[in-house]
């Protein structure tokens, strides 16, 4: 009875975490009702339209959004790679992106949780029903089994931790993409590059129009937003450089309605 109830709980756990709130609803209805859900394929299609219209910065933003929603979206990843290459934006690859290409963060968290919880139940079960009631001669063998279960449980939680830290959605709310606009001509410059006209936006050390320029950030670059001050935003680049950039040149990675 106890075993079956635990098994049932674990199954319910999987269903509760995997199943979306409203299964079967159409995308448009759903996105209007639940702001936390969105379609990566929809963003991918919008990126194709933007690319067709020659709007590469917006296409890159849509593809980044699609990849945040589904980090294993191979088509979106390849297309983003192509577009960033055309725009002259450096492509950052680290262990997180490599792991993401192999494992889905949701799957890692789910599998890790299942392993962790199952092993935790096993530890309790073995301790009370086997370890405590056995004679001293057999306790050593049961103790080893207990330690093994504890290690499996710890491994499960390590997998959960890994799935969480590689999840791009963890930082997505604080991430912005540089989309230069025409009205910030004082901050935006255009440089000729072999592929395209590379449009960059100035990263300044002070939040004033003529502040010292730390670097020129290419359009399409992903930045981490730290704070805002008036029309200026304090951002951090992937290389760790921090500075001020015009807020009008930034678009949030997660749409504001989400």
Partner 1 sequence: MQILSLNRIFHNDRDEETAKAHKVRQFILCAGASYPSSSSSFQRTLLLMIFLRQRLFPLFLGILLFFISPLFAASDVQVSSELSRHRVAAGEIVQLDVTVTGAQEADVPHSIAVDGLQINLAGQSKQVQMVNLSVSSCSLYSYIVIPLRTGIFTIPPIEVRADGKYFRTQPQELIIEGSSASYRSRAQTPLSPNTPGIMPSSVQTSAKNALSSNHQIGFSELSLSKKRLYVGEVVPAEIRFYVDARYSAAPRRNIDFSNEGLLVERLSDPLSSTEERNGILYNVATFRTFVSAVKPGPINIGPASLELAVDLPMASPADMPDVFAQLLGRSGGITQHRSLTLKSNQVSLEVTPLPGEGRPDNFSGAIGEFKIDAMALPQKYSLGDPITLVLTIEGDGNIKAIGMPQLTETEGWKIYPSTDRIGEADAAGLHGVKTFETSMITQEPKTSTPGSLFSYFNPTTGKYVTLTTKPQPLNIIPSTTSPLPPSPVETKITASSSPKALPSGPPALATKTQPLSHESLKSWQPLLYRTQYLIASGVLLALLVLLTAYLGFEWYEKKASLLPEQQLKKLWSELQEEELSPQIFFNKAALYAELLLKQDPARFAQLEDIFKRRDEIHYGARERVLRAHERAKILEKLTAAQSSDHS
> Which residues of the chain form contacts with partner 1 (CB under 8 A)?
2, 5-6, 9-10, 12-13, 16-17, 20-21, 27, 30-31, 36-42, 44-46, 48-49, 51-55, 68-70, 74-75, 78-79, 105-106, 109-110, 113, 117, 120-121, 124-125, 127-129, 132-133, 160, 163-164, 167, 169-170, 172, 183, 230-231, 247, 254, 258
Handedness of CA 209, 214, 220, 226 (dihedral sign): negative
Q: In angstroms, what is the minimal distance from the CB of 60 to partner 1?
A: 13
Round to whole Å and give the CA distance between 234 and 226.
5
Q: In angstroms, what is the minimal distance from the CB of 3 to partner 1?
A: 10
Q: In angstroms, what is the minimal distance from the CB of 145 to partner 1?
A: 16
> Among 221, 223, 203, which Cα is nearest to 212's?
203
Q: Measured from the CB atom, is 171 or 215 closer to partner 1?
A: 171
Q: In angstroms, what is the minimal distance from the CB of 71 to partner 1?
A: 10
Do 70 and 76 touch, CB atoms closer than 8 A? yes
Q: Measured from the CB atom, is 117 or 143 closer to partner 1?
A: 117
Residues in Cβ contact with 57 at an 8 Å cutoff, skipping those fewer than 6 apart: 87, 177, 178, 179, 180, 199, 219, 220
Residues in Cβ contact with 185 at an 8 Å cutoff, skipping those fewer than 6 apart: none
């Amino acid at each position: 009875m106890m075993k079956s109830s635990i098994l049932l709980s674990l199954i319910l756990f999987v269903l509760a975490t995997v199943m979306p709130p409203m299964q079967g609803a159409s995308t448009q209805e759903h996105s209007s009702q639940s702001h936390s859900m969105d379609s990566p394929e929809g963003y991918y299609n919008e990126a194709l339209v933007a690319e067709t219209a020659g709007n590469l910065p917006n296409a890159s933003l849509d593809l980044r959004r699609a990849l945040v929603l589904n980090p294993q979206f191979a088509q979106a990843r390849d297309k983003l790679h192509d577009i960033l290459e055309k725009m002259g934006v450096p492509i950052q690859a680290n262990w997180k992106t490599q792991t993401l290409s192999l494992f889905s963060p949701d799957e890692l968290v789910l599998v890790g949780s299942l392993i962790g919880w199952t092993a935790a139940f096993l530890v309790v079960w073995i301790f009370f029903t086997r370890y405590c009631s056995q004679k001293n001669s057999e306790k050593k063998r049961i103790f080893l089994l207990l330690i093994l279960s504890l290690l499996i449980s710890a491994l499960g939680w390590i997998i959960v931790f890994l799935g969480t830290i590689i999840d791009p959605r963890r930082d997505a709310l604080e991430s912005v993409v540089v989309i230069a606009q025409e009205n910030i001509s004082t901050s935006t410059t255009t440089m000729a590059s072999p592929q395209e006209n590379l449009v960059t936006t100035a990263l300044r050390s002070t939040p004033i129009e003529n502040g010292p320029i730390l670097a020129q950030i290419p359009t399409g670059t992903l930045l981490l937003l730290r704070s805002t001050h008036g029309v200026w935003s304090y951002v951090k680049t992937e290389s760790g450089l921090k500075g001020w950039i015009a807020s009008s040149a930034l678009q949030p990675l997660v749409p504001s309605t989400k």
